[in-house]
Amino acid sequence: MSSGHGVGSFVLVDAVTANTPSGTLTSLYSTNSTAFLLQNVEFYNIEKAIMAERRADPILTGGGGGGGTTCSLMHGALASTLRMQMFNLLRKVLPTMQRAKELVSPISYNKGTFNFSPAVDHNTPILDTARCSTSRPMGPRGTAFPKGPASLDRLGLRSWQQDPNSRMLTIPMWRSKWAMKATSGLSRSKIYCLLFQVPPLELSWWNEISMNLARGRQDYGVNSHFRVGGAKGSHLQASECPKKQFPLIKQAYIAASLLLRITSSASAYLENVWAWTADHDLDVKSQDPIDVFSARGILVESHGPTWMYGTASEHNVLYQYQLPGAQKIVMGMIQTETPYFQPLPAAPEPFKPGQFPNDPVFTNCGNSIAGCAMAWAVRIINSSTVYILGSGLYSWLAFYTQDCLETGHCQEQGFYVEQSTNTWVYNLVTKGITESISPAGETPLYARDVQNGYTSSLLAWLHTGTGAIGKRKFPGFYLWDGEMDRDVLSGVSSTCKASLTRLVECHDQVYMLRALQWRGSMHNDTLTDLMCDKTCGQSLQLWFESVLAGCAREQDHVVLAEPGGIIWAGWNETCVKDPNTGKYCGNAINEFTVVRSISDMPHSELCSYCYVTRYKMMQATPYSIYDKTYQSDLEFIHSKCGLSGPTSILPPLQEFPDP
């Protein structure tokens, strides 16, 4: 700790300071000093722009006498993704983000009073959603709530609260619904000072931004909070959801699937937004800790422009912030906290991942759940042009104990970047997380290397190369493509679509297993090793299981899951090895004696591990080529090898009528 470290980090961006003797006073030359970043800041009519304690001369002079000085200046630890070299310095030249024009252009529009109408009757707090489809509803101050999920074309709401006695929606976790959905081709929505409380499970932004400069930009604003439990009327208080109930997790503790979603066609301006899953009961004097389970915090798929200033997401099970396929995003000052109960249960429990795009799966943890199977603070995947200007990512406890803070290892990882470009991170502060940033397949940035007093503080994490950050081992492929299969995907639920369009992270050759056939040798062990990478099997399994769950209510759910089922079955058959020799079974069978029929096979080959296992695997799944001929072969194997087991042909996945 240091008396000179009252503020962990300070960011001043795109600002003007004018008409004062001194602009900024800092403690840059003290031990564990504040990380300090000025970027595109103008000092106008100021004698001393930047002053440091214990120094008489200014670090930077201002534009005295009416002139102006524009500068970018930094002091603190700097990490480059190319070498991960650490610097602690004060300098005026710093690589700066290439700002997308959509993020810096002015945005405004004018609307007359005729465009607005009341959304709530004077005598009832019920939101009349029928009024919302033809005009812009304006909500009054006070208590109001929708009759059900509200799909709103144009929206302007101010100072709503939850109804403390309502319990509006009870929905299974795989059928989550939104509380409010703003949707339209060219609509505008403004929400001010609202409190969303579970139940309702999600606020979803589906608005599509207009880029027609003749009409002016269109933006959408939120200045509201999400509260999951911990208050009267939520049915999620200390008396109902006391802490440390693991391993008994009642359905009543599972409260929300997703708090806020900004879809790919949407643009949003967020300011002062808190997505909070309660860790304690606000409405009892003792503020008792509670266990309430919300799967996801804030999901940003927006292609931009989207601005998020002063937002926080806390205590959600899978992640607090996730940006899959996002573009042109500014996140100015974000804060996260890991759930206090983790890793008991270990993430993703009690949820099943796959319902929303790029859900994390935590399969890399295996049985080592301590510090690993815990919620991600930030995940950036397949995204570009993401600017993070200040963040505090905190992991304070492990199953309600703070012993881990003594070593700083409450959680192994918190900030994940995969296959993303033009990503800039400034003033990252972490506590209790071993790796401050963990790019996929690359050397992580360790918190110990940027320790600065009580927290770890990184001034800037800069990617100076032109390639992607966190490159995947395999680019992967899609079994259902969002564009090519648009007609099919438009007819299924959003949950089913998210499952179907999940990336399969495998070598391209694995896609060829889509054809139903006998799985022979690949005649290339290097290729087979790539195809049989462990992460590929995990990805196939996740795709298949999430489609079975997410598309279960679709009429054609069998057809939708079939491509993945065939590939996964083919992958398992291709990748099995002889435990004695370590050979791929496809190679071993390929070396068998050439005979006219199975009855002529040498006993050692007929009853070998690889041959018997291949037939058993084929029989066990409807996604293989197993038919009456293979059934007869398996019965022969059982009779000659002294084995027993099922040989029947499983019911077909699809019943076809006779021609």
Q: Give the pLDDT score at 453.
A: 81
207 and 224 part of one domain: yes
42 and 146 part of one domain: no
- Please give the single-letter amino acid code of residue 535: T
Q: Give the pLDDT score at 169.
A: 36
Q: Give the pLDDT score at 140.
A: 46
- Which has the higher per-residue pLDDT, 327 or 151? 327
Burial of 119 per CB tally in 10 Å (0-12, 13-18, 19+)? buried
- Mean pLDDT of the 629-648 span: 97
In a domain, 123, yes or no: no
Does pLDDT of 129 surpass 50?
Answer: no
Averaged confidence pLDDT in the chain: 81
In sequence order, which ranges of 490-556 are alpha helices (DSSP H)? Answer: 494-500, 525-531, 534-550
Token pair, residue 239, equals: 């008396």
151-160, 162-171, 400-409, 511-520 — which is least confidently predicted? 162-171
User: Smallest Cα–Cα separation from 414: which of 393, 428, 396?
Assistant: 393
- Mean pLDDT of the 587-604 span: 96
Gap between the Cα atoms of 20 and 531, Å rounded: 65
- Which has the higher per-residue pLDDT, 338 or 141? 338
- Mean pLDDT of the 447-463 span: 85
Q: How confident is the model at residue 128 (pLDDT cuts 50, 70, 90)?
A: very low
DSSP letter assigned to residue 160: E
Token pair, residue 651, equals: 């019911």
284-299 pLDDT, tens digit per residue, is 999 999 999 999 999 9
Tell me how far apart the 2 most distant CA atoms of the chain are, in Å.
102
401 and 458 part of one domain: no
23-37, 47-61, 360-374 — which is least confidently predicted? 23-37
Does pLDDT of 184 surpass 90?
Answer: no
In a domain, 453, yes or no: yes
**CATH code, domain with 142:** 2.160.20.10
Helix (H) or strand (E) holding 641: helix 628-641
Most confident of 135-139, 272-276, 301-305, 638-642: 638-642
Report the relative pairing of strands 451-452 and 455-462 from DSSP bridges: antiparallel
Q: How confident is the model at residue 556 (pLDDT cuts 50, 70, 90)?
A: confident
Token pair, residue 42, equals: 């103008």
Does pLDDT of 187 surpass 90?
Answer: no
- Mean pLDDT of the 321-348 span: 95
Domain range for 77 is: 1-92+441-472
504 and 543 part of one domain: yes
Gap between the Cα atoms of 69 and 447, Å rounded: 35
- Mean pLDDT of the 357-363 span: 89
74-85 pLDDT, tens digit per residue, is 777 777 754 545
Does pLDDT of 165 surpass 70?
Answer: no
- Mean pLDDT of the 616-627 span: 96
In a domain, 111, yes or no: no
Does pLDDT of 5 surpass 70?
Answer: no
User: Smallest Cα–Cα separation from 470: which of 437, 425, 436?
Assistant: 437
Q: Give the pLDDT score at 217.
A: 34
Report the share of the chain in percent with pLDDT over 70.
75
170 and 280 part of one domain: yes
Coil vs helix vs strand at 527: helix
Does pLDDT of 459 surpass 50?
Answer: yes
Q: Give the pLDDT score at 654.
A: 63
- Which has the higher per-residue pLDDT, 515 or 72? 515
Most confident of 15-19, 197-201, 305-309, 591-595: 591-595
In a domain, 28, yes or no: yes
Count: domains in the chain: 3
Q: Give the pLDDT score at 409.
A: 93
78 and 134 part of one domain: no
386 and 420 part of one domain: yes
Q: Give the pLDDT score at 245.
A: 83
Half-sphere exposure of 132 (CA within 13 A, CB side): 28
- Which has the higher per-residue pLDDT, 299 or 22? 299
In a domain, 373, yes or no: yes
Gap between the Cα atoms of 182 and 202, Å rounded: 11
The string of DSSP letters for 569-632 reads HHHHHHH-B-TTT--BHHHHHHTSPP-SSGGGS-HHHHTSHHHHHHHHHHHT-TTS---HHHHH
Q: Give the pLDDT score at 368.
A: 83
Half-sphere exposure of 90 (CA within 13 A, CB side): 13
Burial of 427 per CB tally in 10 Å (0-12, 13-18, 19+)? buried
Gap between the Cα atoms of 339 and 489, Å rounded: 35
In a domain, 105, yes or no: no
In a domain, 110, yes or no: no
User: Smallest Cα–Cα separation from 390: which of 6, 8, 11, 5?
Assistant: 11
Q: Give the pLDDT score at 206.
A: 44
Gap between the Cα atoms of 398 and 407, Å rounded: 12
Claim: this prediction has a pTM higher than 0.85: no
Q: Strand order in 60-61's β-sheet?
A: 22-26, 48-52, 60-61
186 and 276 part of one domain: yes
Token pair, residue 593, equals: 């004696």
489-527 pLDDT, tens digit per residue, is 999 988 899 899 999 999 999 999 999 999 999 999 999
387 and 451 part of one domain: no
In a domain, 99, yes or no: no
C-alpha distances out from residue 573 to 504, 531, 609, Å:
18, 12, 13
Token pair, residue 332, equals: 């100015």
User: Smallest Cα–Cα separation from 478: which of 506, 513, 440?
Assistant: 506
The string of DSSP letters for 227-284 reads EESSSTTTT-STTTSBS--TT---GGGEEEEEEEEE-TT---EEEEEEEEE-SB-TTS
Q: Give the pLDDT score at 26.
A: 78
Gap between the Cα atoms of 278 and 259, Å rounded: 13
396-443 pLDDT, tens digit per residue, is 999 999 999 989 899 999 999 999 999 999 999 999 999 999 999 888
144 and 290 part of one domain: yes
Q: Give the pLDDT score at 201.
A: 44
372 and 517 part of one domain: no
Q: Give the pLDDT score at 130.
A: 44
Report the share of the chain in percent with pLDDT over 90.
47
220 and 339 part of one domain: yes
Gap between the Cα atoms of 510 and 534, Å rounded: 13
